[in-house]
Amino acid sequence: MSTLDSVQVKHYMTTTLVSFGPDLEVMSAVHELVKHRIASAPVLDADGKLIGMLSERDCLSIAFIASTDACVAGPVSQFMSTKVSSVTPDTSITHLCQMFTTASHRRYPVVDNGRLIGIISRRDALRAISDACSGTIQGLDLAEKFFSSSRS
């Protein structure tokens, strides 16, 4: 699968994102996660910088609070994870797969010059592997890619 070494995160990341501000009531965030059928979302400050991630796991503790407090649990900032691992758009899919196999993360924010530009998930990585094995990477025939690079 050496062809994956040249495939980068930017080729497979999702750029249409659901994100939250740190002051949003966390139950509103939970509703958005459920509505969009996503397991987590980035938390951005007023300048659009990534300051955390809010995941399903983070939200499970809300059940105890919301059950006794009329479904008001507090701001996203009280529940989000602030130690966020991220990747750059130029990270190779091979390196990304190594990251997925050594950590429990299901997705990584893609950050460029401190700004969130996308999300890359395990499923996106599997799509890249599938494309590589079928001979096509984002519409580029691997045979064409090999022959054009070997002529240079």
Give the mean model confidence (pLDDT) for residues 60-64. 75
Question: Domain spans of the chain?
Answer: 2-150
Q: Does domain 2-150 have CATH number 3.10.580.10?
A: yes
Confidence of residue 42 (pLDDT cuts 50, 70, 90): very high
Please tell me whether residue 107 adopts helix, strand or coil conformation.
strand
Is the pLDDT at 148 greater than 70, yes or no? no
Give the mean model confidence (pLDDT) for residues 119-127. 94
Pairing of strands 140-141, 136-137: antiparallel
Give the mean model confidence (pLDDT) for residues 24-38. 93
pLDDT reported for residue 66: 62
- Distance, in Å, from the CA atom of 26 to the CA atom of 124, rounded to the nearest integer, reads 27
pTM of the predicted structure, to 2 decimals: 0.78
pLDDT reported for residue 109: 96
Higher-pLDDT residue of 52, 67: 52
